[in-house]
Amino acid sequence: MRGRVTDPVFPAPAWIGLGANLGDARAALAGAVQAMERLPGTDVLRVSSLYRSAPVDATGPDYLNAVAALRTALAPQALLQALQALEQAAGRERPYRNAPRTLDLDVLLYGDQSIATPTLTVPHPRLWERAFVLRPLAELRPGWATPEQLQAVAGQRIECLGAW
């Protein structure tokens, strides 16, 4: 991970949620982290532990999840488009809402910006409802999620698998 937190070229970090529950999910997530590192003007600063979680509002096998902190010169919409291209390259299909997937990459936060466009909402609209997002995000940003916010998702099945 090449990024330097103090590098003035990069704006505030973007926080990306990673998930997969089809095929070799661990390899898909590792490949996604490597691919994000190759995006123009982007450095992967940190990646959380790997988590296994039950699908939420969906069916199918358990997911593997993580969160990555990026420094990027890409604007939010350009970052979203780049992440969607990585999903497609990994064989992502969208036959219906919350379908099982080979790779899911979500822009959770982009600095301290609030964004609401037809294709991108930041902070991610379901961030506070998902243990598979809050737990790895809290690992990378201790104190960011309150105990009450973490308690609100405590009933969701999630297991920290540790380092990759």
Instruction: Indicate left, alpha or beta for 32 from its phi (over 0: left) and psi (-120 to 50: alpha).
Output: alpha
| 104 tagged catalytic | yes
Catalytic residue among 52, 57, 97, 104: 104
Report the distance separating Cα 132 and Cα 114, nearest Å. Answer: 22
Catalytic residue among 4, 26, 57, 101: 101
Catalytic residue among 71, 106, 130, 135: 106
> What does the angle CA 80 – CA 159 – CA 163 come to, to the nearest 5 degrees?
70
Report the distance separating Cα 100 and Cα 82, nearest Å. Answer: 21
Report the distance separating Cα 124 and Cα 89, nearest Å. Answer: 23
| 92 tagged catalytic | yes
Q: Which of 73, 76, 54 has its CA nearest to residue 63?
A: 54
Residue found under tokens 């909402």: 121
Catalytic residue among 71, 92, 130, 135: 92
* Enzyme catalytic residues: 92, 101, 104, 106
